Amino acid sequence: MTTAAEILARGFYAAGCRHAFGIPGGEVLTVMHALADAGIEFHLTRHENAAGFMAEGVYHVTGAPGILVATLGPGVANAVNVVANAHQDRVPLIFLTGCVDAADAAGYTHQVFDHGAVLGPVTKASLTVTDGAVESQLEQALTIATEGRPGPVHIDIPIGLAGKAQAATGPARLPDTSVAAPAAGPDLARARDMLAHARRPLLIAGLEVLAQGAEAAVADLARDFAMPVITTYKAKGILPENDALALGGAGLSPMADTHLMPLVEASDLILLAGYDPIKMRHGWRQRWDPDETAVVEFTAAPTTHGMHGASLTFVGDIGAGLATLRDGIEPAESWSNGAPAAARQALSAAFAADEAWGPAAIVDEVRRVLPADGIATVDSGAHRILLSQVWRCSVPHTLLQSSGLCTMGCALPLAIGAKLAAPERPVVAFTGDAGLEMVLGELATLRDLRLGVVIVVFVDASLALIELKQRKSGLRNLGVDFGATDFAAVARALGGHGVAVSSREALRAAVAEGLAADTFTIVAASIDRQAYDGRF
Ligand SMILES: Cc1ncc(C[n+]2csc(CCOP(=O)(O)OP(=O)(O)O)c2C)c(N)n1
Ligand SMILES: [Mg+2]
């Protein structure tokens, strides 16, 4: 006899899931216990939003879908932000919630609203489990969450049905997400011709390269054809950023764009590899004319965003597509005017980290301490834009952030999830002070999990990014400054270590010590207000 909840739990286990996060309510107890009995550990968090980011952190490390559990009503409402984030940041998140049985819903209103109606616009699908169809719904959910552009799938589980026996129909068939390579034909022949004749090729690579494991295909192509590479923030490290061809991450910094856009405009072949413009700001909108410049796109799913066009688009396996594109083509001399090297140098100068103290110095010191395969997460705010330029990744998937939704409050829980999934890897969360104050409760989660995550907080008593925008707009100071918090004391109160630092030496020592500790450490790094003026 197998219950509906057991069928779901065993299916997720078979899909590689080992961790679930959330806050229980009476309506999801059966589901939680089924998960635990199937071998998926349930972790209690302090907020459903943070729980979803922990699930995402696990996904980035393991590749298996993340699992978020919330009770009906307030639990669902609290999770909307992280579900929207999973939608915009292409995270295969399975969101399990309880709901009242259909017969009850007809005459009962306490805590009841239409979960599917709220979550519809921010999920790839919202399913309500149906008696007798659980297995096929499980397969549907896993397939939808992982195919093409991954994303969140919501599964509402009626209370009475969760524990109800279902007819056994054998083990779940898991989705086979193998994707097809573009077929040979006139389009591919045209694209190959464009590559053969290109003298100023440029590669722009994004997150889908990581989702499909096509990093080597991209890096090899770049090196063999001497193509400079721009990545999105989340795709940093596809080509190690110490490589002479790596031009770093782009998307949010207008100052970086001033060095990158001339290359985009001078290029005679723009190759888009798994590049998803949901992460880019206005500056990247319609920046090329595919009738004037050869633009060849390899993407996981058709593009309907309107952010840019392409001369040719190939949907499917990005790595196999790039291999077919280049097969047998002799690399020609590229960029004989040396423009990419000059841009790289200009970017290094623009985002120099040689200051005695300040936000770039903080990033620089931590980079020196954290090994190449260590994982960093970063929150939203001024600190993130600067960090994404200064921080160099030589391994992909080692800088986690919210880059589609750009939400605050993600860095700490992303770090918790990553550390749980890979306890042997050092993990540092960078966050602004307001972002950390949004998720302070998760320090208690971290304490209970006994994980040695180091949290570096940029303490400026300010919503620095918004304060900067406000001032630039000529508006008076309003709603962007706040009082000082003693984060080191907060850390101690919640069972961790806390250190306040204001020098490179003290920061370096505190981070190194924190990485070796068996509980969390907050390193509160004080910087001046308005420290980011003119810096991105
Ligand atoms: C949930 C959420 N609310 C508001 C914003 C708008 N926002 C973006 S950055 C920012 C300031 C963050 O301040 P802090 O965490 O201190 O980082 P700093 O900019 O000071 O580095 C705000 C309010 C957001 N991105 N997400
Ligand atoms: Mg701040």
User: Which residue has the least CA distance to atom 14 on ligand 1?
Assistant: 432
Q: Which residues pair with 273 in a beta bridge?
A: 205, 298
User: Which residue has the least CA distance to atom 8 on ligand 1?
Assistant: 381
Q: Relative to the CA of 465, which ligand 1 atom is closest?
A: 19
Q: Is the CB of 434 under 6 A from ligand 1?
A: yes
Write down the H helix ranges in 225-317.
254-266
CB atoms within 10 A of CB 206: 29
- CA of 440 relative to ligand 1 center, distance in Å: 15
Q: Is the CB of 76 under 6 A from ligand 1?
A: no
- CA of 480 relative to ligand 2 center, distance in Å: 9
Q: Which of 51-60, 106-115, 178-187, 278-287 comes out lowest in average pLDDT?
A: 178-187
State yes or no: pLDDT of 171 exceeds 80.
no
Q: Is the CB of 407 under 6 A from ligand 1?
A: yes
Q: Is the CB of 463 under 6 A from ligand 1?
A: yes
- CA of 466 relative to ligand 2 center, distance in Å: 9
326 pLDDT band (50/70/90 cuts)? very high
Strand segments (E) across 143-228: 153-158, 165-166, 201-205
- CA of 461 relative to ligand 2 center, distance in Å: 5
Q: Relative to the CA of 405, which ligand 1 atom is closest?
A: 25
Q: Is the CB of 382 under 6 A from ligand 1?
A: yes
Distance CA 73, CA 77 (A): 6
The answer to whether 310 touches 297, Cβ cutoff 8 Å, is yes
Task: Collect all residues with Cβ–Cβ distance below 8 Å to 191 and sequence separation of at least 6.
Answer: 296, 312, 314, 325
Would residue 248 be called left, alpha or beta, if left means φ above 0 and alpha means ψ between -120 and 50 degrees? Answer: left
For ligand 1, pick from 363, 408, 430 the residue to mutate: most ligand atoms within 8 Å of CB: 408
Distance CA 216, CA 105 (A): 52
Q: Which residues pair with 314 in a beta bridge?
A: 298
User: Which residue has the least CA distance to atom 9 on ligand 1?
Assistant: 381
Q: Is the CB of 464 under 6 A from ligand 1?
A: yes
pLDDT of residue 325: 96
Distance CA 4, CA 241 (A): 47
Looking at all shown ligands, the one closest to residue 459's CA atom is: 2
Average pLDDT score over the chain: 96
For the sheet containing 153-158, what is the strand order? 41-44, 19-23, 66-70, 93-99, 153-158, 125-128
Distance CA 448, CA 435 (A): 21
Measure CA 378 to chain center: 10
Q: In the predicted model, what is the mean pLDDT of residues 206-218?
A: 96
The answer to whether 206 touches 284, Cβ cutoff 8 Å, is no
Residues with CB under 5 A from ligand 2 (ion): 432-433, 460, 462, 464
177 pLDDT band (50/70/90 cuts)? low
The tens digit of pLDDT for each residue in 86-135 reads 999 999 999 999 999 999 988 999 999 999 999 999 999 999 999 999 99
What whole-number percentage of the chain has pLDDT above 70? 99
CB atoms within 10 A of CB 309: 14
For ligand 1, pick from 380, 384, 433, 527 the residue to mutate: most ligand atoms within 8 Å of CB: 380
Q: Is the CB of 323 under 6 A from ligand 1?
A: no
Task: Collect all residues with Cβ–Cβ distance below 8 Å to 404 and sequence separation of at least 6.
Answer: 85, 87, 88, 89, 90, 278, 279
Amino acid at 42: F
* 3-class secondary-structure state, position 420: helix
Amino acid at 323: A
Q: Is the CB of 97 under 6 A from ligand 1?
A: no
Q: Is the CB of 71 under 6 A from ligand 1?
A: no
Q: State the chain's maximal CA–CA distance in angstroms.
A: 74
pLDDT of residue 279: 87
Strand segments (E) across 109-225: 125-128, 153-158, 165-166, 201-205
Q: Is the CB of 514 under 6 A from ligand 1?
A: no
CB atoms within 10 A of CB 401: 24
Q: In the predicted model, what is the mean pLDDT of residues 474-499?
A: 98
* Closest C-alpha to 317, from 178, 185, 206, 190: 178
User: Which residue has the least CA distance to atom 4 on ligand 1?
Assistant: 408
* Closest C-alpha to 315, from 274, 353, 350, 345: 274
- CA of 252 relative to ligand 1 center, distance in Å: 14
pLDDT of residue 168: 74
The tens digit of pLDDT for each residue in 216-256 reads 999 999 999 999 999 999 999 999 999 999 999 999 999 99
Q: Is the CB of 458 under 6 A from ligand 1?
A: yes
Q: Whole-model pTM above 0.85? A: yes
The answer to whether 277 touches 284, Cβ cutoff 8 Å, is yes
Q: Relative to the CA of 468, which ligand 1 atom is closest?
A: 19
The tens digit of pLDDT for each residue in 437-450 reads 999 999 999 999 99
What whole-number percentage of the chain has pLDDT above 90? 94
State the distance between the two ends of the chain, measured CA to CA, in whole angstroms: 60
Burial of 195 (0-12, 13-18, 19+ CB in 10 A): buried
Q: In the predicted model, what is the mean pLDDT of residues 31-48?
A: 98
Task: Collect all residues with Cβ–Cβ distance below 8 Å to 282 and sequence separation of at least 6.
Answer: none
Q: Is the CB of 381 under 6 A from ligand 1?
A: yes
Q: Is the CB of 433 under 6 A from ligand 1?
A: yes
